[in-house]
A and B are shown apart, each in its own frame.
Chain A
Amino acid sequence: MNGSENATSLTCQTVSLVVNGTPVTREIPAGQLLVDFLRDELNLTGSKEACGVGVCGLCTVLLDGVAVSSCLLPAACAESGSVWTIEGAAALWNRSSLLPADAPNPALFREVQKAFLECEGMQCGICTSGQVMGAYALLAENPQPNAEEIRHHLAGNLCRCTGYESILSAVKLAAERWSDRK
């Protein structure tokens, strides 16, 4: 199990991308995964790492507006791209300067956060970053999803604690409130 195929090459490469609206250029170990790049190089530890095989959804971030599992993606594949993590999205409400064009909608993101809090769509919280990012990505694309669309979209975000009921309620509540505002 510690065969050479698992050995990580120690050669380096340079990546340039935009993270949470800020251009970043870093020398990183070749093949470094986006989740490790965010957590280890940029200290953005809101995105969590668990299954490592793209099943659990804890590492969900937005890449060019699309929810992706950052544990499956080498950071180099995000070259020239724009990544938003939960820290970046959660800080937008307090941002006085003009938002970057690809920034998440702060008002929608806030509705998602509030709904998760009011419905207690969390317990231990280790999956919550991914759930919130996944729910935001759904509502950004489809502001009025039906119950089946919500279940389909969130199937990639596992939660062992809640039994999902409160998470589903949170996404429905956020969708309702968002529709009312628009």
Chain B
Amino acid sequence: MARSSHRNGEVNPLAVTLNPPPAPDPELSHLGRVDGHLKVSGQACYTGDVKLPGMLHAEAVRSPYPHARILAVHTAAAAAMPGVHAVVTGADIPYGPYGRSVWDTPALAREVVRYVGERVVAVVADTPAAARAAAAVVEVEYEPLPAVLEPAAALAPGAPGVHAQPWRYKNAAVTPADPANLQSRQVWTGGGDVETALAASHRVFTHTFHTQTRHQGYLEPHICVARTADDGIHIWAAHKAPYSLRARIADWSGTTPNQVHIHPIFIGGDFGGKGDFGDIPLVVCLAQRTGRAVRMRTRYSEDLMASNPRHPAAVTMRLGVDAHHRITAVDVQALLDGGAYAGYKPLPTVNLAGVADGVRSYRIPAVRVESTIAYTHTVPRGHMRAPGSVQSVFAMERMLDMVARELGLDPVQFRADNMLQDGDSDALGAHWLEVRSAPVLAAVRRALAESTPLPPTPPGAPEGGDWVTGTGLALYSRHTHTGEMEVALQPGADGTVAVWVGFPDQGGGQFTMARNVVSESLGLPADAVQVLQSDTDGLATDSGAGGSRVTVTGSEALTLACGKLRRRMQETLGDTWVTPATLAAFADTTGGERVSAYLNYTDHEHVTSFCAQAARVWVDRSTGQVEVADVISALDVANVVNPASHMAQIMGGIVAGYGDALLEDLIIEDGKVTAANLGDYKLPSVRDLPPLPVIIIGGSKGIGRQNIKAIGELTNVAVPAAIANAVAAAVGVAADRIPLSAETLFAALHPEEAGE
């Protein structure tokens, strides 16, 4: 890999080229996204494309048991294989467990294994094939132990402990007084006492909803390269938060952050799954042990089996209404499976903030939400696009439809009568600058009213089906998160300006956002702005590409930096007029000065975005098959920095929600992930999709000088509830579990035949 270096010597993934570097393509490089021409030419460099001199390859030997004692590991045969440099066991790892918040996750299992797929031994060899061949002859002797595979069983008295003393882990959120397998419990309350309010209610409804384990579905499996050098450890990884990775690797390995260098690189999809550490701590150890560059590439089957998929949940709702059909109280009890390790959750609560989201779109005088996450002997769970939100919104939005039907009400009108209105604080006490629930809901209702009625059967349906149609709607509101970052602008002698950012672009278009903001703020043509991702030595900090916070935080930080640059130009040149000539003069006068801006974005208005989605479906009562006719989405947005990327976030979210509702299920049987390839774990393809019209309700008040509301985690959340509500409306089943497979619907429709 040849690298083009830059004026301050740092490396830029936007300019990392393959060997031999291609001739620049003038007809393409100015089109579209800043990284687009590299991506349509095969020149964008991802971690899997990194080749370092003398690089070795690592392969993991993984546990076949959900819970077992490791009696012995026989490594001699593997160590004697040709090309093998090291065979490493848990006992060889010089550091303790690791984690994003709680440090409970070992780089390699020690003494016991806690899930099928856990790494037990790592083999390092000259080639991937040699590593794989040697891994195949490692023998591990196990004594299988009783496993707990469900959170309810795990929390029952007397259940085998997944960890002996989980409260002793650094940053643990539990105490010795808690149930043995508790990862964390978080409670949110708002308004009056829920039990009192439920007791005083005209009617109270109760139901439990289930959501599945789901893989993020990024198409680049986890991969990492590390090497040691005189100045510490260097890491290239499919990881979306380089600065927090640096801080944690330094802390964990007993060094200082300036001894850890995270290199910029493209990320092949994230959806929450690339904030985890994956194999990175292990590969750091392997690089230190061998003194060589080491690469570990997870095969997709391994990634499905043993990365950090979404927490499955059982969410029990109790909802009270008064005689006028106004909601009086909601109690939410969510029980989530956290799997064998809690270290993949980044928040200090070791819980998922989105579990509180389900109740936020409605006026509820008394609310209590309790989220309990248990250890089990299954794959560790982590963050996925709007973590916790899908689970709670599915339960709340299905519940509202069930209650409306029990009360003989139109479910959409029931929502309209109970939803948050402009000027309200939400049920948990948050106050928003604006609440745009009404125009968003009205837009979807209007679109539904104007839609052509569905024909009785879906187009192309075979003869003999027993098709019925249904319509369902769901709401979601998501507040915009902000973060912390430093950015820098550096005019060059060629009259362009380099924009240094610390956040990666995992696909959301953050680099293009940076170009557009700087080009507009400085009044420069787009091709005079060059966006460069710094390595972690180049800037002070960055929160990373998570929580849909990069555009809102980055656009503000970049706007501040542009203002500072104008002031510096005034001081040095006596002129704030920004042109290629004055930029070149500034670079010349200052010797290439970099003007940076640091922003810890806490001082801002609090904004939330509303999204209403309606699905129309056909259901074949004879088979349980669901065909979605369309999903109509209406959402409120503020300023849009790059319309194409913004729309792609919207569409990608809706399609991800479609997969969540109908296709994707990371099935775990006897503790083992059995949907272990992309043939069995089915992502939506272009053929699956119905029309997905989108209605943008513009004119919102956003945050900051660029007037921004987040978009990345808005449109995926309510789709499963909308589709399930449509299915329930069509065939009258509970539809209380996603995905809505034909098998489960058939069983619900034909209980007499189920099990045959």
Contacts and interface: CB of A to CB of B under 8 A. Distances in A.
Contacts of B679: 51, 53, 55
The DSSP consensus for interface residues of chain B is: loop
Interface centre among A6, A9, A10 (most CB of B within 10 A): A10
The DSSP consensus for interface residues of chain A is: loop
B339 interface: no
A32 B130 CA distance: 12
Contacts of A19: none
Interface in B1-39: 18-19, 22-23, 25, 27-28, 31-33, 35-39
B299 interface: yes
Contact of A125 (B18, B44, B127, B644): B44
A120 B507 contact: no
Size class of the B contact interface (CB-based, 8 Å): 35 or more
Contacts of A165: 647-648, 651, 692
Contact of B33 (A6, A85, A120, A168): A120
Given A43-B19, A124-B507, A114 B655 contact: no
A78 B592 CA distance: 52
A110 interface: yes
Contacts, number: 224
B478 interface: no
A78 B153 CA distance: 53
B674 interface: no
Given A110-B27, A124-B267, A52 B301 contact: yes
B653 interface: yes
Contacts of B645: 120, 123
B46 A126 contact: yes
B268 A125 contact: yes
Nearest to A36: B128
B46 to A, nearest CB: 6
A97 interface: no
A85 B723 CA distance: 40
A44 B128 CA distance: 17
Nearest to B652: A163
B135 A2 contact: yes
Interface in B98-129: 117, 127-129
Interface string B388-423: 000000000000000000000000000000000000
A181 interface: no
B266 interface: yes
Nearest to B138: A2
A55 to B, nearest CB: 4
A2 B42 contact: no
A56 B300 CA distance: 11
Nearest to B650: A163
Contacts of B218: 124, 126, 160
Interface string A17-45: 00000000000010010001001100111
Contacts of B64: 1
A125 B252 CA distance: 32
Contacts of B216: 160
Interface of A: 1-4, 6-10, 29, 32, 36, 39-40, 43-53, 55-56, 58, 85-87, 90-91, 93-94, 110, 112-114, 116-120, 122-129, 132, 151-152, 154-168
Smallest CB-CB A-B distances: 7 pairs:
A46-B42, A124-B507, A126-B268, A163-B651, A123-B507, A125-B39, A86-B42
Interface of B: 18-19, 22-23, 25, 27-28, 31-33, 35-46, 48-49, 51, 61-62, 64, 82, 117, 127-130, 132-133, 135-138, 216-221, 266-271, 299-301, 506-509, 644-645, 647-648, 650-656, 677-679, 683, 685-687, 689, 692
25 contacts: A39-B49, A46-B41, A46-B42, A48-B46, A48-B219, A51-B677, A53-B679, A91-B22, A91-B23, A93-B25, A93-B27, A117-B31, A117-B36, A117-B40, A122-B39, A122-B507, A124-B267, A124-B268, A124-B270, A125-B38, A125-B39, A125-B507, A155-B686, A160-B652, A163-B692
